[in-house]
Amino acid sequence: MIETHAHIYDEQFAEERDAMLERAWQACIQQIWMPNCDHGTIEGMMQLAEQYPQRCLPMMGLHPTYVKEGFEKELQIVEDWLARYPFLAVGEIGMDLYWDTTFRSQQEEAFLVQCGLARKHNLWIDIHSRNAFWETVALIEKFADPELTGIFHCFVGTLEEANKAIELGFKLGIGGVATFKNGGLDKVLPYVDLEHLVLETDSPYLAPVPYRGKRNEPSYLELVAQRVADLKRISKAEVIEATTQNALSFVSEKTTN
């Protein structure tokens, strides 16, 4: 399996990070993809990338909830890093209108700038979109580059939204919310072809049932795979094989050498 989105550098793992990673390897996770948040998360993320160069693959980007006054300085840091390291993707980037809409216009600008950086470096984007799916879609359509692709991380939308993301050339990152009784994905996943899905945990957040409410970790990815299999009435092995191949389609040679 490939864990396509996990903040394994997070301080919640500080006391047992090695043990957590060992559980992930034992759960047959071959790669963990690490999204960046802002300048403060780069050091821990890059240490893991150096320690596990074939397994822990970093992205570079500015998370929308970290977009504040002076965000241009953060974007310059992102740009500088992209120029000197072969990152997997630009991420996580996007729009978040759940907690605060104060910096909505800045979030929009930051997203479009980072889409441009992704195209400049021939990378895909990892999208964070909370309470802002159609706003994010509007920005992608405004950017208007058919070569721009990526993943809608932590997808929890409707079937209409799923189809729109797919139409734009993006895959859907499916995580622990799929296991929630009222998560809503039971009305979506049965009607979405496997070729459009990848798996994630978003660790340490959004742990799947039966760990809901507790700290999440990559080894729980198998629970997500099983839930997708149950909803689609196929085997877990089929889900794992397809989603792994879908994820690998994003990995270029330069990110694994």
pLDDT at 99: 87
Residue 91 predicted with pLDDT over 90: yes
When pLDDT is averaged across residues 78-94 and rounded to a whole number, the result is 98
Residue 252 reports pLDDT greater than 70:
no
Indicate the pTM of the whole model.
Answer: 0.96
pLDDT over 90 at 41, yes or no: yes
Tokens standing for 127?
């999208």
For the chain, the C-alpha Rg in angstroms (whole number) is 17
Q: Which residues neighbour 110 within 8 Å (Cβ) at sequence distance 6 or greater? A: 62, 64, 67, 71, 74, 75, 93
Mean pLDDT, the chain, whole residue set: 96
Q: Residue 254: what pLDDT?
A: 47
Q: Mind listing the pLDDT tens digit for each residue in 173-224? A: 999 999 999 999 999 999 999 999 999 999 999 999 999 999 999 999 999 9
Q: How deeply is 232 buried, as exposed, middle or buried, from its count of CB atoms within 10 A (0-12, 13-18, 19+)?
A: middle
Task: Return the domain boundaries, the chain.
Answer: 2-255
The total of other beta-carbon atoms located within 10 Å of residue 156's CB is 21
Q: What is the pLDDT of residues 178-188, one digit of tens each?
A: 999 999 999 99
Residues 30-40, mean pLDDT to the nearest whole number: 98
**Interval 93-139: pLDDT, tens:** 999 999 889 999 999 999 999 999 999 999 999 999 999 999 999 99
In this structure, which CATH number among 3.30.1390.20, 3.10.180.10, 1.10.150.130, 3.20.20.140 belongs to the domain 2-255?
Answer: 3.20.20.140
Sorting pLDDT into bands at 50, 70 and 90, what band is 257? Answer: very low
Q: Does position 253 have pLDDT exceeding 60, yes or no?
A: no
Q: Which candidate, 129, 39, 122, places its Cα nearest to that of 78?
A: 39
